[in-house]
Structure 1
């Protein structure tokens, strides 16, 4: 159950933000303090599961072949590439960058990770989209399903960053649950928890913003 203060912030935002003729995203603007973000260990870089998902489908790209590749496609992967496609993508940087922009998550059979790192690391790495390794004990269908409810929260070396927590047409209580999950996840990754949070605001794509923390 979300904190009442979070629910109040979401309700206020929705009251102040008129309905648009397109599905607006609801985002968090997170601002950190008292951290030296030039040091990687102080940065936020983690996957956080949202209790109610994002309210929209996410594009997943999988590097696999054979039965695993077929299973990935059946599970809804936007793209499925075999190991033979990796070099082709590496030689076409424009296509690789377009793919990195279009896809929210990448998954790769573990044996392809070194090749992908060498061939596509310069494209995927800086965007925080290096593939999640698919080891033999993991089910690609479950990873794809999980991806639909997961957001990648990443600060880099900037104390202010954004993350999507849902769509405007979702129920306020569900949006509030998602917001609290993200805030809790961020706090858990900070050295001093909430003491390292300067502020958190919730906003819509074209609406106003309301302070949550």
Structure 2
């Protein structure tokens, strides 16, 4: 059961924020306190699976062959690239940049990682989209499903940072459940839990802001 205060905050936000001509993102503005974030050990770096996803399609590309490529296709991978495709992308940087901007995540069988790093690292690296190495002891369908429904929270060295938790089209209950999941993970990741949280507000892309914590 989701905390009623979170449900009320989302309801208030959606009531006060006039719908726009596009599907707005719903984000959390997180403010920390009493932390020295110049020390990497105090920073938040969490991957979180949202129970209701983000309310939008997220694209995953994979560099693989054989059985892994087939299973990835069946699991909903948007692009599947072979070793030859890596060479083609390396020689067509414009296409590589377009792909890097289009896809949210990349996966690669472990044997392709050195080749990708050498030929596509300058395109994928600066965008934070170097492939996630895949080994045969994992289930590729599970990996793809996780990526399509997960977010990454990184505070870096800032006490205030933002993260998307969905879109308006998800509705109140789904958004509230996503928010509660994120809030709990943040509290658990902080050295002193809630004592290191100054505030958390939920907001829409062009709407108002409502305090959650």
TM-score bracket for this pair, using the shorter chain length:
0.7 to 0.9
Misfit runs of 4+, over 6 Å: none
* 2:100 equivalent in structure 1: 100
CA distance in 1, matches of 2:56, 2:204: 15
Tell me how far apart the structure 2 counterparts of residues 126 and 191 of structure 1 sit (CA, whole Å): 30
Alignment of 1:150-189 (within 5 A): 150-189=150-189
Partner residue, 1:32: 32
Deviation at 1:104, TM superposition (A): 1.6
Query: Alpha-carbon deviation of 1:200?
Result: 1.1
3-state SS, counterpart of residue 144 of structure 2: helix
The alignment partner of 1:57 has SS state of coil
- The 1:53/1:32 distance shift into structure 2, 3 A limit, reads same
Per the alignment, residue 14 of structure 1 pairs with 14
Report the alpha carbon displacement of residue 81 of structure 1 after superposing the two structures with TM.
Answer: 1.7
- Deviation of 1:61 after TM superposition, in Å, equals 1.3
Match in the other structure for 1:85: 85
Greater Cα shift, 150-159 or 11-20: 150-159
Query: Aligned residue for 2:72?
Result: 72
In 2, Cα distance between equivalents of 1:92 and 1:41: 39
Partner of 1:138: 138
- Structure 2: unaligned runs, 5 residues or longer: none
- Post-superposition Cα deviations, 1:108-136, rounded to whole Å, max 9, x if no partner, equal 11222333344444544454433222211
SS at match of 1:169: helix
3 and 89 in structure 1: CA distance in 2 versus 1, 3 angstrom threshold: same
Give, in angstroms, the shift of residue 91 of structure 1. 5.3
Number of aligned residues:
213
Q: TM-score, normalised by structure 1?
A: 0.87
How far does the alpha carbon of each residue in 1:19-56 deviate from its partner, in whole angstroms, 9 at most, with x for none?
Answer: 22321111111122222323322222221011111122
- Looking at structure 2, the residues matched to 105 and 16 of structure 1 have their Cα atoms a distance apart, in angstroms, of 34
Gaps in structure 1 of 5+ consecutive residues? none
Distance 2:198 2:90 in 1: 40
Q: TM-score, normalised by structure 2?
A: 0.87
More off after superposition, 95-104 vs 29-38: 95-104
Distance 1:210 1:40, change over 3 A: same
Deviation of residue 100 (structure 1)?
3.0
Secondary structure at 1:61 match in 2: strand
Could you say if the C-alpha distance between residues 43 and 24 of structure 1 is closer, same or farther in structure 2, counting changes exceeding 3 Å? Answer: same
